[in-house]
Structure formats: C-alpha cells, structure tokens
Amino acid sequence: MYAMPANTERMILKIIGILHERVKDLRITIDMLAQAAELSTKFPNWFGKPIKDVKLAVCGERVMKYRNMVDQWGIFALQIAGHAGLLLQIAYGHWYHWVLTALVYFLTSCLGMTMTYHRLLSHQSWPAPRWFQILGTLCGIYGLTGSSIAWVAVHREHHHHTDDQLDPHSPAHKGFIRVQWLSMFETPNPRYALHLIRDPFHQWLHRNYLLLHLCIMVIWYCIDPMLLLCMYLTPAAILWNAGSFINTLTHMTGYRNHDTRDDSTNIWWLGYLMWGEGWHNNHHHSPNRSRFGERWWEFDLGSWLIDRIRLPR
Ligand SMILES: [Zn+2]
Ligand SMILES: [Zn+2]
C-alpha cells in the first residue's frame, strides 16, 4: 500500500489548517456584516438618515488604521500624566477639588461609560433620545478611555471571544498588568463596530480624538492649571482604573448568579463604584438587557437613569 512521505503529509495538514483558519475568518466577517445590516435597519445614523449599504469592511479598516498607533501612545502618555495628576491632587488638593473630580467622574463613568459606550453603543440595549446619544458619547470621549469606535470594537470582540485566546482583554491569557494598565495598546477590530464606523459623528470623533484631548487640556490650563488637574487628569486616571477592574477582576474573583460558559463574576464594590458595571456575570448572561443588577442589593444607577430617559420602543 502506498505510504505518503511524512513531509508531504505535514504540508497537506498545514494547508488544511490555513484553509480552516481562513474559512473561520470569513465566517466571522459574514456574521459581522449580517449583524451590521440588521443594526442598520434599526438605528439611523446621527443625521437621521437610515444606513443602507453594507460594504463596510474596507472603509472600516481605513478608519481604524488612521492614526491608531498615535492614539495608543497618546492615550498612554496622557494616562501617565493623569496618574501623576492624581498623586499631585492627593498631596495638594482641597476638598472642593475633590467635589469637582467626583462630578466629572460621574459624568464620564456613568453617563459616558456604562450608559452610553457600553449599554447603548455596544449592546443597543435601550432606545436613547438623540440629545442623550450625543451628550453620553461626548462624556465617554472626555473620559480618556478611547474613542467610541475603538472602545465598542474591543468590547464587542470581548463578548464574542470571552475568556478564550482571542479575547482582547482576558486576564487569564494576557496577564493582569497588560489588561489593567496597558489595554490602550489593543488594536480594535473594526468589524465589531461597523455600525459606528459608518456614522460621520463617530468617525469624526475617532479621527480627531487626540486633538480634542489636547484642546481640552489647553482650555483648562488657560483658565486655571488646578482645573486641568481636578477636572480632567485625576478623574481620567480614576476612571481608567475603575473601568479596567471590570475587565480584570470580574473575570477573576467574585460571586456568580449564573452558570455562564465564561469566567465572569459579580463584585459588589465595583457594582457601586461603576454604577452597575460590577454585576458583570449578570451582564454576560444577558448582554442585551439594559439592567445589570438583579438582586435587591445589586444597585444599578445606570439602569435607573436609563429607565427615566429611555424612549418607548
Ligand atoms: Zn466580560
Ligand atoms: Zn458588554
């Protein structure tokens, strides 16, 4: 009987492996395009026009590559400044500086992060009025955790590959330090944010992200350098740490209400600190539900505010 030489066999297996990967890749693209098409019919763009075309992959790649490295290093440098600012404020700040910091933290973490970037733009879990879509996105941009497009793309990829090798912020695979403090170097996959990439408002914010932050810094500095500290740098550093704890700790430790296939958990103090985000196991169990808290002690201010302003379906 004819025996295939070992080299040929290895080569054939390698080719089959490569083809298998390509087919998997293609399937994900088709999935994402189908999802984008579905979203397009549900969500009009920022100028109120329904989005029709679905040939987004190329346009998306271009947008995401645009100044991506500059943005990553820019956010890294600004966050170093933010952490230095936090230490300076601890040393020299007065009580009223901390009141202003708390106010900005609330706007960026509650309105920006959890209500808008996460529950609205990533999961489309609630119908928001137009004024809030704009306000919440601007609060998210101000928080210095990345543009709406970049944040949403990384987050949706996390849901697609939770806790496996392709998860962009799995502490088990990437390590705690990388996920907690260096996640700005994660390159977002545009396929996961096609619905925002085709929107001129989000595209503009993405392209001008660093420029906007430089303008914010110059304005605060000219009014009063202390305002630059307490209304921009310090809240940005606090938000970075609080938000990153959701990516690390709620996949490492805590309790579970649901036996999901991933390692997600709930952590009570993160639930309070991040307005409901800490009930992360509940969220992974039902990602498209706007309410994260389930038990009576699982306080969820984000969901409470959403219920006050949501539009009727
Ligand atoms: Zn998660
Ligand atoms: Zn999510």
Q: From the CA atom positions of the chain, what is the Rg in Å?
A: 21
Q: Which two tokens stand for residue 159?
A: 């849901």
> What is the full per-residue pLDDT of the chain (313 aa) written as tens digits?
566 777 888 888 888 877 877 776 666 556 565 555 554 444 444 333 434 444 555 566 666 666 677 889 999 999 999 999 999 999 999 999 999 999 999 999 999 999 999 999 999 999 999 999 999 999 999 999 999 999 999 999 999 999 999 999 999 999 999 999 999 998 888 888 888 988 889 989 998 999 999 999 999 999 999 999 999 999 999 999 999 999 999 999 999 999 999 999 999 999 999 999 999 999 999 999 999 999 999 999 999 999 999 998 7
- Neighbouring residues of 237: CB distance < 8 A, sequence distance ≥ 6: 79, 82, 83, 85, 86
Of the ligands numbered here, which is closest to the C-alpha atom of 171? 1
Of the ligands numbered here, which is closest to the C-alpha atom of 162? 1
Q: How far is the CA of 265 from the centre of ligand 1 (A)?
A: 8
Q: How far is the CA of 198 from the centre of ligand 1 (A)?
A: 26
Locate the domains of the chain by residue range.
51-309
Of the ligands numbered here, which is closest to the C-alpha atom of 122? 2
Q: How far is the CA of 280 from the centre of ligand 2 (A)?
A: 8
> Per-residue DSSP letters for 48-102?
SPPP-----HHHHHHHHHTTHHHHHHHHHHHHHHHHHHHHHHHHH--HHHHHHHH
Overall pTM > 0.85: no
Q: How far is the CA of 152 from the centre of ligand 2 (A)?
A: 9
Q: Locate tokens 């808008």: which residue?
A: 116
| Residue 175 vs residues 71, 188, 222, 239: alpha-carbon distances, Å | 23, 18, 40, 20
Of the ligands numbered here, which is closest to the C-alpha atom of 263? 1
CB 201 within 8 A of CB 165: no
Q: How far is the CA of 158 from the centre of ligand 1 (A)?
A: 7
User: CA–CA separation, 286 vs 118, rounded Å?
Assistant: 13
CB 303 within 8 A of CB 114: no
